[in-house]
A and B are shown apart, each in its own frame.
Chain A
Amino acid sequence: MAILTVEGISKNYGKINALKAVSFSVPKGCVYGILGPNGSGKTTLLSIIMNVLKATSGNYKLFDEIPTDDHRKKIGTLLETPNFYHYLSAVRNLKISAAIKGQGEGDIDEVLHTVDLYKRKDSPFSTFSLGMKQRLAIGAALLGNPDVLVFDEPTNGLDPVGIAEIRTLIKELSAKGKTIIMASHLLDEVEKVCTHVAILKQGTLLASGTVRDVFQENDIVQLASADKEKLRNTLVGLGNYMRLDEVGGILELSYQSGTADLEEINRYCFNNGVILSHLQLKKSNFESKFLELTN
Chain B
Amino acid sequence: MDQLLKIEWLKIKNYTVFKLLSIFFAVGVVLINYAVFAFNKNVIGKSAGGAMLSSFSPYNFSNTWQSTSYATGYLLILPAMLIIILITNEYTFRTSRQNIIDGWSRGEFIKIKLILAFLIALISTALVILTATGFGLLSGSDFSLNKFSHVGFFFLKALTYNMFAVLIAVLIKKTGFAIGLYFIYMGAENFVSQMLDILSLKLKVETGTDLGSVGDYLPMNASDGLLAFPDNPLKSLAKGALPTDYFCIVLGCAVVYLFIFIWWSRKKYLSADL
Contact = CB atoms under 8 A, between A and B. Distances in A.
Nearest to B16: A87
A79 B3 CA distance: 24
A270 interface: no
Contacts of B97: 47, 50, 52, 79, 83
B104 A85 contact: no
A51 B97 CA distance: 9
Interface of A: 47, 50-54, 69-70, 72-73, 77, 79, 81, 83-88, 92, 95-97, 99-102, 140
A231 B6 CA distance: 75
Contacts of A50: 97, 100-101
A84 B98 contact: yes
Interface stretch (B88-96, B121-129, B130-138, B187-195): B88-96
Nearest to A74: B103
B173 interface: no
B274 A52 contact: yes
A71 to B, nearest CB: 8
Query: Main secondary structure on chain B at its contact with chain A?
Result: helix
B237 interface: no
Interface residues of B, number: 26
Interface in B1-30: 3, 6-7, 10-11, 14-16
B98 A83 contact: yes
Nearest to A50: B101
A51 B101 CA distance: 7
Given A85-B95, A87-B15, A87-B16, A95 B10 contact: yes
Given A52-B273, A53-B273, A81-B94, A87 B101 contact: no
Interface in B56-113: 89, 93-95, 97-106, 108
B94 A85 contact: no
Nearest to B97: A52
B93 A85 contact: yes
B97 to A, nearest CB: 5
Given A83-B93, A83-B97, A84-B93, A51 B102 contact: no
Contacts of B42: none
Contact of A96 (B11, B106, B274): B11
B104 A100 contact: yes
